[in-house]
Amino acid sequence: MYLAYDYPLMSVFWSMLIFFLWIMWFVLLFRIVVDIFRDDDMSGWGKAGWLVFVVFLPFLGVFVYVIARGKNMGHREVAQARAQQQAFDSYVRETARSADRPSSVDELARLSEIRARGDITEEEFHRAKELVLSDSGTSGRAGAGASAAGH
């Protein structure tokens, strides 16, 4: 042990090693606490028991938890990552799908330009305008109903 203090660089190395091991220990402890709460198969009493074991006897509790439940811990983390990825993918698909449709304002502006050029009559413009406004009202109500039903 005196060797580390005879060489100052060795002392710095040991200090850094202990510091990083300490940080790694806390990361592992917090991941285990999160995994305890993430596990849907475990009962409330089981979660409370593991939590008490890990908090009051942290070194022994973490080692026993990793040995007893470490394999399933990885499976739960992968399942949560997949669920988050699927939710993100569906959000992107929904957003892209809604971005493909032009808004009613864009359609009305286009109709107004066509009428100004004289390509359609006033009557055709009013019929198309009613159609655009009725479609936007229907899709807006359907979207509002779907979002209200989802929450």
How many angstroms separate the CA atoms of 126 and 110, rounded? 13
Q: What is the pLDDT of residues 44-89, one digit of tens each?
A: 999 999 999 988 988 898 889 889 888 888 888 888 899 999 999 8
Q: What is the pLDDT of residues 96-150, one digit of tens each?
A: 776 666 677 778 888 888 888 888 888 888 888 888 888 766 554 444 444 444 4
How many angstroms separate the CA atoms of 119 and 101, rounded? 23
The answer for residues whose C-beta is within 8 angstroms of residue 14's C-beta and 6 or more apart is 4
**The predicted structure's pLDDT at residue 8:** 74
Q: What pTM was computed for the model?
A: 0.52
